[in-house]
Every structure is written in structure tokens, then in C-alpha cells.
Amino acid sequence: MKLMTRKLAALLTAALCFALPAHAIDIEEVTSPGGIKAWLVEEPSIPFTALEIRFKGGTSLDRPGKRGAVYLMNGLLEEGAGDMDATEFAAAQEALAAGFEFDVFNDSFSVSARFLTENRDEAVDLLRKALIEPRFDQAAVDRVRSQILSILASNEKDPNDIAGKTFNALAFGDHPYGSSEEGTPETVASLTRGDLLNAYNDVFAKDRLFVSAVGDINADELGQLMDRLLGDIPASGAPLPGPAEYLLSGGETIVPFNTPQSVAIFGHEGIKRDDPDFFPAYVMNQILGAGGFGSRLMEEVREKRGLTYGVYSYLVPKDNAELVMGQVASANDRVAEAIDVIRNEWARLANEGVTDEELETAITYLTGAYPLRFDGNATIARIMVGMQMDDLPRSYIDTRNAKVEAVTKADIARVAKRLLRPDDLHFVVVGQPEGLQAAN
């Protein structure tokens, strides 16, 4: 045993005593006079506030035949609002040095804002225009539409995008999860202003709203801010979509594409975020392929064999489906070997579980890394809004590491046997892979 290894052993013991930051995150629950709830951490040392807003639903709320409507609507919120056209709006935002970002995902619509204390009211009024009074002028619609069509055209030539799109289509078929949230060239071309207004009305509603703020702002100020910003949003929106049936079985799908390196995306069904075995699964995945250097996949595929620059696995608990997924890229003549090694690692973990040392290393890492996440206003605001969407209590931050530490080898053996099914793994390979046969 070398010097550092001994040192490592000593440190492992020390690291297990890792506590949360001495000045632990003090989350206050705020309810505005108008009844909107938010989580707040006051942090007055820098004169700005980070605000995070989420609406559940996201692009899964696209109406039938209107795929891409929510995505296009998202791109238009800043392109003309109230009495301002796109240029006037952007100029006003620049003059305030405020930052607004709108983004859409499968299951949510997000608004991330930051603004200086000295002009907070003006910044919030401007953001309100985008959220409450978007204009969807035809000229802006056409302009943003052409940008999206350009993105779609580029995506059609991007092996990563082709792989992801193919996997989703095979896995989820007609459910919104089965198609690109940007839409297709055909649906995007056909979207009308009326479709965008529908998308707007479907997405924004108080019954699916989550808010957090961190920074130079107190509870009263945040309450007033929320009522001004969000008070006029309707109480309810479109019904949230139901469960997505998983349609894929084990095998390989090859999408021929002229490129020197094949890209593979693989996966099968996974585990829900609120499953009692979620934490064992989370720790298991850390050992399998989430950990970057030192994970089993990285060790076997990259470090020992040099087959790739990167290989990862991840749990994907969506609102209406859950997956275990992974990805790798490897030269066309080597990707078959990479896939073999991955399948073997899947089977090895399912059959043999993990070692004491692996479990200890993973737990030490996960518990030690957790407090390091809370390192900035914007980061903390994002974590807090995510906790609310996952229906976690404020106290979760204090109990989370105990849940990780409680995971045993037996827990992982049980969950690995249930979760990791090498025969069910489906690989979508984009490229010109050698030595692979399409089984599907």
C-alpha cells in the first residue's frame, strides 16, 4: 500500500463526519399577500437577487399536431411585449443590466432572472411584461420560427441528436416524450399565432407554479414582487399529461451516418424519484457510471481499454416515465467492443452487486459533495425550486446525507437486480459501426 492510499484510508474516516456548512442554508417559506408561495434565502452580501420560477408541464403540453408550439412560444416571450417591440424590450433590459432566461423542458417551463437591488422594481416590471403581456407579433413569430427551422436542420446532421431522437421515438412513440420538443420542420412551419396563444394559456397557471429566491431581498419585498410579477396569471391551465408507456425491448438499432465515430445512447426502464429504493439506485449509479473518473464504466471502457473519451450512465426520473440511460462515443471499428464491455458491466453489477470499498467511496463522495453544491445565489435558488417540484420538504437539505449514508450493500444488490437488466438494454448507434447487427 502506498503512502497516499494509507492517507486516503485515514481521510475516508474523517470525511464521513462531513457536516453541512456551519452557517447552514436557512430557508424561509414566504406566502405573498396574494397567496403565492416561495422559498427564500436572504443573502444581502451582494446587491442582487436570483429568482427562479417554474411551471410544471413544459413541452409535454403541446396539443396534438402542434408539436413545437410551447418551444416556439418560449422563444417569443422577449420578442415584443406590452408596448415594446423586441429591440425596445432588449434595450430596456440592457439598461437595467437585468438578466432574464426562459427555457422549456419535457416537464417544465423555467424562468431564471437576476436583477440588481438598485433597480429591482423596474426589472420586475419589465419581466412582468414578457410573462403577462407577450405580443406574438407575426413578424417576430416568423423570425423565431426561421431560427428554430435552422436549429432543426442542424440537428438532423448531429449524431448525438439523431441518437437521442431515435431512442425517444422507439421508447415512447406517440407520447410527447417520443418526439423532439422543438417540433418537426412540418409542425413548426404550420404553427399559427393562435397556436402560440393556446400554448401560452396552457402552460402558465398558478396551480403548477413554483418560486424560489436568493439574494438581497427580504420576505415582504419578495411577497410584493411575486404579486406584481405573477398575480395576474390564471389559476389553472391545461391538464398535465398522463403516464408514458415504455415501448422498447432489448437490442440494437443502427442509424447509418457518415462519421468516423459512432455515438451510442442506451437504456431501459428506470426508477421513480419517490420510490423507496431511489437512494440505493442513486448510489448504485454513482458506482456504475455517474462518477466520471473512477466509475466502473469509465474505468473499463476508457481507462483500461482507451475505447472512448467519455462514457456515462444516469437515472432519468421524468414526471411520467423513468429510465436508466447511458451514452458513449467510440470509433466505428471499436464501438462494438465498447458496447460489449458496457453490457458486461451492467450484468456484473446486477449479479454481483458492489464491494464494501466501492460503496464507502461512493457514499463519502456523495455526502461530501452535497454541501459544496450550495455555493452561489443562483445555484441555491435552482436547488430550492427543484426541491419544491420534487415535493421535498425544506428540511430535506438536513436529512439528505443521512439517506445516502443509510444505503447498504444489500440495498444495492436488491435494487441492481431489479433495475439493471442487460438483456433489456437497447442501444441506438449512429454512425458506421463495424461488427454490430441490428436486432430490432
CA distance 16 to 361: 10
**What SS3 state is found at 41?**
strand
Q: Are 209 and 54 in contact (CB under 8 A)?
A: yes
Q: Are 216 and 43 in contact (CB under 8 A)?
A: yes
Residue 320 CB, shortest distance to other proteins, in Å, is: 31
CA distance 311 to 140: 41
Taking contact as CB under 8 A, which single stretch among the options 130-138, 226-234, 369-377, 413-421 is the one that binds other proteins? 369-377
Taking contact as CB under 8 A, which single stretch among the options 53-61, 172-180, 357-365, 419-427 is the one that binds other proteins? 357-365
User: 149 or 233, CB closer to other proteins?
Assistant: 149
Taking contact as CB under 8 A, which single stretch among the options 8-16, 29-37, 392-400, 403-411 is the one that binds other proteins? 8-16
User: 99 or 231, CB closer to other proteins?
Assistant: 99
Residue 372 CB, shortest distance to other proteins, in Å, is: 5
Q: Which residue of 54, 114, 208, 296 would you call a contact of other proteins, by CB under 8 A?
A: 114
CA distance 140 to 124: 23
User: 218 or 440, CB closer to other proteins?
Assistant: 218
User: 94 or 356, CB closer to other proteins?
Assistant: 94
Residue 68 CB, shortest distance to other proteins, in Å, is: 16
CA distance 361 to 373: 19
> Of residues 240-269, which lie at the interface with other proteins (CB under 8 A)?
258-261, 263
> Of residues 287-326, which lie at the interface with other proteins (CB under 8 A)?
291-294, 299, 302-310
> Of residues 53-112, which lie at the interface with other proteins (CB under 8 A)?
78-79, 86-87, 89-91, 94-97, 99
Question: Is residue 17 at the binding interface for other proteins, with CB under 8 A as the rule?
Answer: no
Question: Is residue 374 at the binding interface for other proteins, with CB under 8 A as the rule?
Answer: yes
End-to-end CA distance of the chain: 49
Give the angle 361-365-368 at the CA atoms, nearest 5°.
Answer: 135
State the amino acid at position 109 in one-letter form: F
Residue 77 CB, shortest distance to other proteins, in Å, is: 12
Residue 33 CB, shortest distance to other proteins, in Å, is: 29
> Of residues 383-412, which lie at the interface with other proteins (CB under 8 A)?
none
Residue 292 CB, shortest distance to other proteins, in Å, is: 8
**What SS3 state is found at 298?**
helix
H or E element that contains 28:
strand 28-31
Q: Which residue of 33, 65, 256, 368 would you call a contact of other proteins, by CB under 8 A?
A: 368
Residue 72 CB, shortest distance to other proteins, in Å, is: 14
Q: Which residue of 209, 330, 350, 382 would you call a contact of other proteins, by CB under 8 A?
A: 330
Chain-centroid distance of CA 316 in Å reads 9
Residue 179 CB, shortest distance to other proteins, in Å, is: 19
Q: Which residue of 112, 212, 367, 388 would you call a contact of other proteins, by CB under 8 A?
A: 367
> Residues with Cβ < 8 Å from 17, sequence gap 6 or more?
none
x/- site string to other proteins, residues 137 to 176, per CB under 8 A? -----xx--xx-xx--xx-xx-x-----------------
Number of shown-chain residues binding other proteins (CB under 8 A): 82
> Of residues 178-237, which lie at the interface with other proteins (CB under 8 A)?
none
Q: Which residue of 37, 42, 82, 119 would you call a contact of other proteins, by CB under 8 A?
A: 119
Residue 131 CB, shortest distance to other proteins, in Å, is: 17
In terms of Cα–Cα distance, which of 180, 121, 164 is closest to 329?
A: 164
User: 291 or 353, CB closer to other proteins?
Assistant: 291
Q: Is 152 exposed, middle or buried (0-12, 13-18, 19+ CB in 10 A)?
A: middle
Q: Are 371 and 20 in contact (CB under 8 A)?
A: yes
354-361: long-range pairs with CB below 8 Å, 24+ = 354/284, 354/287, 354/409, 354/412, 354/413, 354/416, 355/409, 356/409, 358/287, 359/283, 359/287, 359/407, 359/408, 359/409, 359/412, 360/12, 361/12, 361/294
Q: Are 61 and 199 in contact (CB under 8 A)?
A: yes
Residues making up the chain, counted from first to last: 440
Dmax (CA) for the chain in angstroms is 72
> Of residues 20-59, which lie at the interface with other proteins (CB under 8 A)?
21-22, 43, 45-48, 50
- CA atoms within 13 A of residue 412's CA, in its CB half-sphere: 25
Q: Which residues pair with 253 in a beta bridge?
A: 428
Residue 381 CB, shortest distance to other proteins, in Å, is: 11
Residue 154 CB, shortest distance to other proteins, in Å, is: 5
Question: Is residue 371 at the binding interface for other proteins, with CB under 8 A as the rule?
Answer: yes
User: 31 or 147, CB closer to other proteins?
Assistant: 147
